Amino acid sequence: MSALEIKHLFGLRGVSKHDIRLILDHAKQFREILERPVKKVPSLRGMTVVNLFFENSTRTRTSFELAEKRLSADTVNFASSNSSVKKGETLVDTLRNIEAMKIDIVVVRHKGTGVPKFLADNSKAIIVNAGDGAHEHPTQALLDMLTIEEKLGTLEGKNVTIIGDIRHSRVARSNLWGMSTMGAHVTLCGPSTLVPRNTELMDHVTWEPDVKKAVANADAIIALRLQKERMDDALLPSMREYRNTFGITEELLECAKDKVIIMHPGPINRGVELDSDIADGEHSVILDQVTNGVAVRMAVLFLLAGGRNNENA
């Protein structure tokens, strides 16, 4: 019960209950450390982590960077906007150049599905997926799971409803795999142009088009961010209609359980997928998610690095 079965974190599909449990349990310990006056531990001292972000990110990159620093790792940030990628360098060359600087862990975000696995196939570094296309965002799902366990005691048997742009959401995909593995029942709900068209390989979750029914039995509701591009791409008519149909409002919450918790991966479009009163209200656990994000990322980095250290021993 001390080492991860996985060598890298590409996503949560196929990751065992043992591994998810191990990460969440370690995250809980790191969460306690984050409450101390001195929040730093020496676990990754001497190790170098590169944050390789090919897409814009503030929250996730900051959260990873904090996690790395709290673990005493040396960190380097690499953003494609000011890098040699702009000069035509290939992904493999970028990675190999960075690797030649003797780094240990690469945290990568990229618009392309499967980039973390591709990098792992072409490198010796430990790879952590910080979001690849619409595929997976495993650390976001892990922090969501940690938050639910923290607030509701367990994931087992809980009903989690995810509302919004499921089709383009890596957060939704990671959550539906991870939460199902941990025994939660996941319901997905969104406009017909924003949910996957072919769900045969995701038939362990419930697809509910009626948002009121989707929230009725939910213990936790996750609202997904709505990208403005969806309107430009004719997938939705307007923010207004989306808010009135799928937005989390006081009116909608009247259909939900009294103690339902409201979650959001951020950044929030206030008044679109989530009304301000709800985002700042008693049901919201959004800021807890942010704190838990650092703890979860510390756990992931610590456990993956530990696995590699054990392997080398």
Partner 1 sequence: MKMHKPCKGRLVNVVLKNAKFWNGKSFELQNEVRLNACETSETVEFDCNGALVMPALFGLGIDFMEPLRDDVYTFADGFDALRKGGFYGGLYESAANPIDDADKFTAMVNRFKSEERGEEAFDIKFLGAYSKGFGTDSLAEMVELAEAGVAGFGDGNGVIPHSRFLRLAMEYGKMTGKRFFFQPMDKTLRHSGCVHEGAYSDMLGMKGIPRIAETIAAYTVLETARFLQVPVHFKQVTCGETLELVRNARKNGIDVTCDVNLYHLLLDDSCLETLDSAYHILPPIRSAADREALWQGVVDGTVNAISVNHTPVLRQDTVVNFEDSVPGALSLEVALPAIWNKLVAKVGEARAIELLSTAPARLAGAESAGESVVVFAPEKTRKVLESDFAGHVCNSPLTGKELPSSILASYINGVWTEL
Residue placing its CB nearer to partner 1 in the complex, 136 or 275: 136
We find the least distance from the C-beta atom of residue 90 to partner 1, in angstroms, to be: 6
Residue placing its CB nearer to partner 1 in the complex, 13 or 21: 13
We find the least distance from the C-beta atom of residue 6 to partner 1, in angstroms, to be: 16
Chain positions contacting partner 1, by CB under 8 A: 13, 90-92, 110-115, 117-118, 122, 133-136, 167-170, 173, 196-202
Residue placing its CB nearer to partner 1 in the complex, 81 or 154: 81
CB 178 within 8 A of CB 141: yes
Please give the full DSSP string across the chain, using - where no structure is assigned. --S-S-SSBS-STT--HHHHHHHHHHHHHHHHHHTSSS----TTTT-EEEEEESS--SHHHHHHHHHHHHTT-EEEEEEGGGSGGGGT--HHHHHHHHHTT---EEEEEESSTTHHHHHHHT-SSEEEEEEETTTB-HHHHHHHHHHHHHHHS-STT-EEEEES--TT-HHHHHHHHHHHHTTPEEEEE--TTSS-S--GGGTTSEE-S-HHHHHHT-SEEEEPPPPTHHHHTTS-S-HHHHHHHH-B-HHHHTTS-TT-EEE--S---BTTTB-HHHHTSTTB-HHHHHHHHHHHHHHHHHHHHHHHHHHH-
We find the least distance from the C-beta atom of residue 122 to partner 1, in angstroms, to be: 8
We find the least distance from the C-beta atom of residue 197 to partner 1, in angstroms, to be: 6
Residue placing its CB nearer to partner 1 in the complex, 196 or 247: 196
Residue placing its CB nearer to partner 1 in the complex, 178 or 196: 196
Q: What is the largest CA-CA distance in the chain?
A: 58
We find the least distance from the C-beta atom of residue 269 to partner 1, in angstroms, to be: 21
CA–CA distance, 50 with 19 (Å, rounded to integer): 23
Residue placing its CB nearer to partner 1 in the complex, 102 or 197: 197
We find the least distance from the C-beta atom of residue 202 to partner 1, in angstroms, to be: 6
We find the least distance from the C-beta atom of residue 12 to partner 1, in angstroms, to be: 13
Residue placing its CB nearer to partner 1 in the complex, 191 or 247: 191
CB 217 within 8 A of CB 177: no
